Structure 1
Amino acid sequence: MTAAMKLLDEMCLLTAQSLNSMETAEHFQVLKMLGEGSYGRVMLAVHKKRGTPMALKFFPRESTSMVSFLREYNLSLSFCTHPSLTRALGIAYRTPSHYVFAQQASLFGDLYDVIIPEVGMEEDSSQRVVSQLCGALSHLHSLGFVHRDLKPENVFLCDAACRWVKLGDFGMVKPRGMKVPEVWYSSPYCTPEAEVARGNADSWKAVGGGDDRPQRVWVPVEPCTDSWALGILTYAMLTGSHPWSETASDCRSYLKYKEWFNAEESPEDELDVWARGGGEGQGPKSRGVPVAPQFSCFTPLACKYFQALLDPRPKQRGQPEDMLAFLGADWMREAERERLVQERRRSKGAIRNMKDLDRRRER
């Protein structure tokens, strides 16, 4: 157990002894809902005495243990000191039905709201987000924690242009090395190593040797889980889609990627690469294997970025701090960039037309 984890457990014990009961309406004016999920809901509120806007995160007591609530609260309060991590504000309490704590409010929604389906975001904005997330994840990893739930819905916007974003929702955070049951789910964010649990209800599998009693597949928590998610999230930002529907051995698009990846990893003379013509005009190739179709819109630099993060081998996967070296240059090929610009203009025009129609209807 890391020093940070020991300190976190001590803080949870102290907070449990001082967690007061109070009614939300006595101290806060609740304005609107900011988000909702399996954990509960987040409400935008204003502190009645201070006049400070904040987000109140509500956890139903019937489905949330006090330990998990206090861990998320104290982690956010004391360890999320990086500017791109959402921080708790030192207010935690309980009501008859909920555990509640206050955190910084992000008033511009989350990343999911600004990714246009099949189009994505502007490349400059995407690189700004990647830069900040690399810092946020590196900070957590340096303390011995792994986020384990990086996705657009958990990246919150502090302005409309993504100049400042904050990674939040720490309910899935675990210390590095802690053993947890492996769970496979049908999603590109699910890592390839999790497929060992595929087809087994709740990640259970039968024990060999004639014993039919179920046994869970336990694996240690590692930062490479966040690296994989960062790669998938970057692809989603740039294209408005995912590179494959699920990270599975029978998914055709994922198999195409693995074929390309394995060819890239095969040792060969660098002169052979140039002889095949892997330049900007033709697209990268590896030992006669063309780039996976879903990655053909990217420059060689971006392809290397994705292959570093989306390495099927967890121990070889790149770390977030290493990805900063890929920022600053073009990621999208010129033709694809021009196409996306036109698509964004059409999408924005359609949105404006819908808003104008709504206004006319209101009149």
Structure 2
Amino acid sequence: MAEQKLEELCYLTAQSLTLLKTSDHFRVVKLLGEGSYGRVMLAVHKKRGTPMALKFFPRGSTSLLSFLREYNLSLSFCTHPSLSRALGIFFCTPSHYVFAQQAGLYGDLFDVIVPEVGMEEDRVQSIVSQLSGAISHLHTLGFVHRDIKPENIFLCDQACRWVKLGDFGLTRAQGTRTRAVWYQSPFCVPEMEVAKKRKAELKDQGGTKGVGKEGETKEDIWIAVEPSIDSWALGILIYCMLTGCFPWNESTADDLDYKKFKEWFDQEADKEAQKSNNREVGRKETEHRGNRGGTLSLEVKSRHSETGEGSGADAVSPYFSVFSPLALSLFKELLNPDPDVRARAEEVPGYLGMPWLVKTEKEEKRRAEEAEAEAKRVREAGCIGEKKEREDRGER
């Protein structure tokens, strides 16, 4: 198993961790990024002359195991072209653990998403194609990224033709039990709302804590790490790239925008269930007529009329009205509130290649109509010319 191999690699590399002085081997150029993990610096290897990103983890707040896990996972498992890979250089200084990785010289996705506008749709679909493949690769190996967001997607060129998903600090093996932590963000999956409710309950009770087995406290809720976490984040990311904003602030019942989406989603699910039921009833009625003759029963007719088939879909959630039916179908799959039936990343390519925005869909339809009109004009002109040529030859 990949997780077992990763543990073995961590044990082996721990034996060869070397204490070095960064300036002896690298010329540090500039800061590329920083966060709670530490910072990333653009550097040039003095002997090789190659640029690379050095990721610095403070030793005071980073365990050796977590450092080695991220390094070895990136080095040995991130072989997909859209996953950021370590370069086989790792060491420590008196204050930091450090490893080298491929440098994102053109920033990250957050830098190129225009607020309230988004990105060109064809570019979004290209990026999604790459990311869905990268995420699927991780899932196939048994790992879940757990931190997909614009800041962790690095650009390999100015035009965003090639991107890489990076930062594997939160990546865990599928099935690993982790403490449920809720945070206010659309990327936080709705199944984490239980952690928010538990925190509120404990606050009402005066913050009473009790220690259970293995040091767990009363407020702890443990969940299994599953690929559905990445699917949800990918859905939110697609929305963000297409619109330049987020659909809601948090994925809980307290957020009115999410609540409206959930209501629309439930209506759509009920409608699909009713259609499925109608098809089954219709099939049985067909079999019944085949055996006994007769016509479709009044009960079946009434069910068809109650569902309003052919009368148009229910009003879409307000912030999703700009999307085509294809994109809405994708969002319903990726942003399914039920993690057990949420779509997986490998299903996303099936939604590529057709318009995701209503304005794009209309524009493509307009172009198709213009092309058809031009083709018709050419055909008619050809027919007229052929007729005139026959007349000139004295033919009827």
Q: How high is the TM-score relative to the length of structure 1? A: 0.85
Match of 1:331 in 2: 356
Match of 1:37 in 2: 35
Letter in 2 for 1:144: G
Rounded to whole Å, the distance in 2 between the matches of 1:337 and 1:170 is 40
SS of the residue corresponding to residue 340 of structure 2 reads helix
Give CA-to-partner distance per residue, 1:304-347, whole Å, 9 cap, x none: 00010000000000000101100000000127988xxxxxxxxx
Match of 1:92 in 2: 90
Match of 2:327 in 1: 302
Please say if residues 197 and 204 of structure 1, whose CA atoms lie closer than 8 Å, have aligned partners that are also in contact: no
Rounded to whole Å, the distance in 2 between the matches of 1:26 and 1:231 is 44
Rounded to whole Å, the distance in 2 between the matches of 1:148 and 1:157 is 20
Rounded to whole Å, the distance in 2 between the matches of 1:120 and 1:11 is 41
Q: How far off is 1:269 after superposition? A: 3.1
Give CA-to-partner distance per residue, 1:64-106, whole Å, 9 cap, x none: 0000000000000000000000000000000000000000011
Kindly indicate whether residue 197 of structure 2 is the aligned counterpart of residue 193 of structure 1: no
Q: How far off is 1:274 after superposition? A: 5.2
Q: How far off is 1:248 after superposition? A: 0.9
The residue correspondences of 1:133-172 to structure 2 (distance < 5 A) are 133-172=131-170
Match of 2:119 among 118, 121, 125: 121
Match of 1:261 among 265, 268, 274: 265
Letter in 2 for 1:226: D
Rounded to whole Å, the distance in 2 between the matches of 1:128 and 1:138 is 16
Query: 5+ residue gaps in structure 1?
Result: 278-284, 339-363
Give CA-to-partner distance per residue, 1:40-80, whole Å, 9 cap, x none: 00000110100111000000000100000000000000000
Higher percent of residues as helix: 2
Rounded to whole Å, the distance in 1 between the matches of 2:347 and 2:165 is 19
Please say if residues 205 and 217 of structure 1, whose CA atoms lie closer than 8 Å, have aligned partners that are also in contact: no
Higher percent of residues as strand: 1
The residue correspondences of 1:140-289 to structure 2 (distance < 5 A) are 140-201=138-199, 213=210, 214-215=217-218, 216-266=220-270, 267-269=273-275, 275-277=310-312, 285-286=313-314
Please say if residues 38 and 57 of structure 2, whose CA atoms lie closer than 8 Å, have aligned partners that are also in contact: yes
Rounded to whole Å, the distance in 1 between the matches of 2:109 and 2:63 is 29
Please say if residues 175 and 224 of structure 2, whose CA atoms lie closer than 8 Å, have aligned partners that are also in contact: yes
- Decide which moves more: 263-272 or 43-52: 263-272
Rounded to whole Å, the distance in 1 between the matches of 2:235 and 2:7 is 32
Q: How high is the TM-score relative to the length of structure 2? A: 0.78
Kindly indicate whether residue 343 of structure 2 is the aligned counterpart of residue 318 of structure 1: yes
SS of the residue corresponding to residue 20 of structure 1 reads coil
Rounded to whole Å, the distance in 1 between the matches of 2:191 and 2:72 is 31
Q: How far off is 1:268 after superposition? A: 2.7
Q: Would the alpha carbon gap of residues 312 and 68 (structure 1) be closer, same or farther in structure 2, given more than 3 Å must change?
A: same
Please say if residues 56 and 99 of structure 2, whose CA atoms lie closer than 8 Å, have aligned partners that are also in contact: yes
Rounded to whole Å, the distance in 2 between the matches of 1:49 and 1:120 is 42
SS of the residue corresponding to residue 107 of structure 2 reads coil
- Decide which moves more: 247-256 or 299-308: 247-256
The residue correspondences of 1:20-35 to structure 2 (distance < 5 A) are 20-35=18-33
The number of residue pairs the alignment matches comes to 322
Match of 1:53 in 2: 51
Structure 1 vs Structure 2 CA RMSD: 1.9
Rounded to whole Å, the distance in 2 between the matches of 1:305 and 1:163 is 22
Same amino acid, percent of matched pairs? 60
Letter in 2 for 1:168: G
